[in-house]
Structure 1
Amino acid sequence: MSREVRVLIRHVARDATDAAAIEAAYRQVSKELAVVDGMLGNELLGAVTAPGEFLVLSRWRDLEAFRTWESGARHRDSTSPLRPYRDLRGGRPFEIYEVAAAY
């Protein structure tokens, strides 16, 4: 049985200009990703206790759908507007989670 997958990517803004740029880049990337097979949706989350820190949370039908898109030719181009803002302070700026339970 395949399970839905969530991908979380951390981004950080150095100042208010970066924060606005992250939001604009997120909207641009989301328009391109809206037609990707297997993507169920995504959200830009702003940290309440750490202003300037953001998470992009994307929902995928399953790991195979995400991996197919990730290895495709359009992946790097379609996400490039957000790439300069990735938060590299903790090493890898992303994590992939499989839904283990939902209520």
Structure 2
Amino acid sequence: MSGERIRVVIYLRAPEGEAEQLEKTYREISWVRGEGAGTAIAGLVRSELLRDVDRPGEYLLHSEWETLEDYRTWQFGPDHKDNPSALRPYQDRSRGRHYAVYGITSED
């Protein structure tokens, strides 16, 4: 898995009446827009916020990274560790771990 693209999923949940605020917060996060420290984050290909069409208060923050190493470097680096995400209040911890990291096993 070390040299392949990965996907990271963060599970989010908006309390009643806060869906618009969650979406606005996502759009304001600098790493989402590739503006971390004035430059794009190394290895981040893209990110997107997905809303569950059957359960509108539930979301996934999906990001694609060039490699697991790129993601881990950012995840454990000072730009992330020292700056808690504005989305932290929305993390859905009801399922245990609020995120998952996936390697691509097959792609057409």
Question: Cα RMSD over matched residues?
Answer: 1.5
Paired residues in the alignment total: 101
Give the gaps of 5 or more residues in structure 2: none
Alignment-derived partner of residue 11 in structure 1: 12
- Could you state the TM-score of these two structures normalised by the residue count of structure 1? 0.91
Identity %: 36
Is 1:56–2:57 an aligned residue pair?
no
Which letter does structure 2 place at the counterpart of 1:25? T
CA deviation profile, 1:66-101 (whole Å, cap 9, x unmatched): 000011101141x52101100011110000001111
Alignment-derived partner of residue 2 in structure 1: 3
Which letter does structure 1 place at the counterpart of 2:25? A
Is 1:94–2:99 an aligned residue pair?
yes
CA deviation profile, 1:11-57 (whole Å, cap 9, x unmatched): 001122x2111111111121245710000001100001111000000
Which letter does structure 2 place at the counterpart of 1:86? Q
- Could you state the TM-score of these two structures normalised by the residue count of structure 2? 0.87
Q: Segments of 4+ in structure 1 off by > 3 A?
A: none
Q: Provide the rounded CA distance (Å) in 2 between the counterparts of 1:96 and 1:69.
A: 14
